[in-house]
Amino acid sequence: MRPYNRDMANTDLKVRVWRGAQEGEFVQYLVPRNPNQTVLDVVTYVQRKLDPTLSYRFACRVGMCGSCAMTVNGVARWTCRTHVSQILQGDTLEIAPLNNLPVIKDLATDMREFFNKWKGAVGFFKGDKTRHDDFAKVPPESEERQLANAGIECIGCGVCYASCEVVESRPNYLGPAALNRAWTLTNDVRDVQQLERMRAVAGDAGCHACHSQGSCTEACPKAIAPTASIAGLKKLVARAAVRGSKWGKL
């Protein structure tokens, strides 16, 4: 890696940013190079100093909220935690909106379909206890809890969805994020929608369409393995369809 030096501050980054909606073009901006600069810093500089009409999305800036994901040099990334120095080749950055989602304007995509698919995969919790019941006791070392833990840190950034080849070729596919969420809930012993969820994630629009190529797992900024979650769903759901499950037969 090149050490930072005085020259670096003088070398402007050539940043090509997508402008427009579904139709549009890359526009080049010159952005000063700073030590420890993130890609989100670069985009913010463009908007604050060069062109206030640039649209993009961010909130927390610390990798918690999942709103700043973009395609940087062809790869989907969380821009707030991606240092320019980690990915820069030469002096050019190309920043585009996420793939597989409709573009609203510039770098902001319409994520409604992405989140609707979470709903479609029954990716939400429903219990049957009330405030008058005792707390549910889930032993931290239990198998279910461990399996849920592996996928629970998803921040919903859409990086996996934008990186998935199956989503690209099969628009009704639920996608890695929604299926990963379904898998964590499948392992939530308090949840009461297990049969409904298994039906929702079965088949060609669901887990059985996954090619196990692993692009989602490679791209996930939180180091989650949706491929493993989907493999878990495939096995569980197919077994439930043929032999039945502890919640009944599909």
Partner 1 sequence: MGQAMNPAVLQAKLWYAQRISAMVLGICVAIHLGIIFYAIRGGLTAQEILGRTQGNLAFAIFYELFVIACFVHAPIGIANILQETFPSSGIAKPIASVLGLLILILGSAAVFGVYSAGSL
Positions that interact with partner 1 (CB under 8 A): 169-170, 199, 202-206, 208-209, 234, 237-242, 250
**How far apart are CB 244 and partner 1 at their closest, in Å?**
12
**How far apart are CB 193 and partner 1 at their closest, in Å?**
16
Nearer to partner 1 (CB atom), residue 83 or residue 239? 239
Nearer to partner 1 (CB atom), residue 65 or residue 238? 238
**How far apart are CB 118 and partner 1 at their closest, in Å?**
17
Distance, in Å, from the CA atom of 22 to the CA atom of 102, rounded to the nearest integer, reads 7
38: phi then psi, degrees, rounded to nearest 5: -95, 165
* 34-43: b (≥16 Cβ within 10 Å) or e: eeebbbbbbb
21, two tokens: 């909606």
**How far apart are CB 175 and partner 1 at their closest, in Å?**
15
Bridge partners (DSSP) listed for residue 98: none
Nearer to partner 1 (CB atom), residue 32 or residue 214? 214
Distance, in Å, from the CA atom of 181 to the CA atom of 161, rounded to the nearest integer, reads 13
**How far apart are CB 122 and partner 1 at their closest, in Å?**
13
**How far apart are CB 204 and partner 1 at their closest, in Å?**
5
